[in-house]
Amino acid sequence: MIPEEQLIIAVDGPAGAGKSTIARLVAEKLGILYLDTGAMYRAIGLKALREGIDTRHEADISDMLQKTDLDIQFVNQEQRVFIDCQDVTRDIRTPAVSMAASDVSALPVVRKALVKIQRGIASRQPLILDGRDIGTYVLPDAPFKFFLTASANERAKRRLSDLQARGDQSSSLKEVQMDMEKRDRQDSERAFAPLRQADDAILVDTTNLTIDEVVDVLISKVSGR
């Protein structure tokens, strides 16, 4: 449970809506930690890919989890992700890992294991978290909930820009958008904790807004309460 006086902000939405960028900036302005929950699923997906494990086979993934040490560390307010003592913070940002993360995140055994870690972190300190089911499943009693979205084309442009900034020049806008729409379907249609807007979440369409404008919207809503 979240202490009643604790500042916890849940940010949900589909891929490319700007969740991570916005959450990081809000965290900086409010002086709280930012937890990228998607990075945790990416880390599990990355290990499965490296070990040649079917990312949709729950029994095999469950066995892998028993032999996996997932650790989240905050270094100078920045989140670092470690799998079996190896820093994989940069390695998890590829299209292949993105799809693997979508696969493993649909498995109840994975979600239950990672959600337990996420809830533990949120119970100890003020925090902003982003993901796909933070406000609906991970922290349904979070005092502040937002659902960020944008048009599919705009989200694909943003994701492609991110990939190119990391040195990936192999993907086209069409390919990125197709992968993103596939992940949207997987995340929205999964049986366990699907992507959806919480009934009490504030919807923010970021398609025609700058990053600073979105940050201002979130902070004004938090400060206004």
Distance CA 168, CA 1 (A): 41
> Is 3 within the bounds of a domain?
no
Whether 3 shows a pLDDT value over 80: the answer reads no
| Verdict on whether the full-model pTM lies above 0.75 | yes
Sheet holding 202-205, edge to edge: 33-36, 127-131, 8-12, 144-149, 202-205
Side chain identity at residue 153, one-letter code:
N
Count of structural domains, the chain: 1
> Is 97 within the bounds of a domain?
yes
Q: At 60, phi and psi to the nearest 5? A: -70, -40
> Is 2 within the bounds of a domain?
no
Q: At 33, phi and psi to the nearest 5? A: -80, 150
> Is 224 within the bounds of a domain?
no
Q: What is the pLDDT of residues 78-116, one digit of tens each?
A: 889 999 999 999 999 988 999 999 899 989 999 999 999
Least confident of 1-10, 109-118, 178-187, 196-205: 1-10
Q: What is the pLDDT of residues 127-154, one digit of tens each?
A: 999 989 999 999 999 999 999 999 999 9
> Is 223 within the bounds of a domain?
no
> Is 30 within the bounds of a domain?
yes
Domain of residue 163, CATH code: 3.40.50.300
> Is 82 within the bounds of a domain?
yes
Q: At 204, phi and psi to the nearest 5? A: -130, 110
Domain span at residue 106? 8-218
Q: What is the pLDDT of residues 11-34, one digit of tens each?
A: 999 988 999 999 999 999 999 999
> Is 183 within the bounds of a domain?
yes
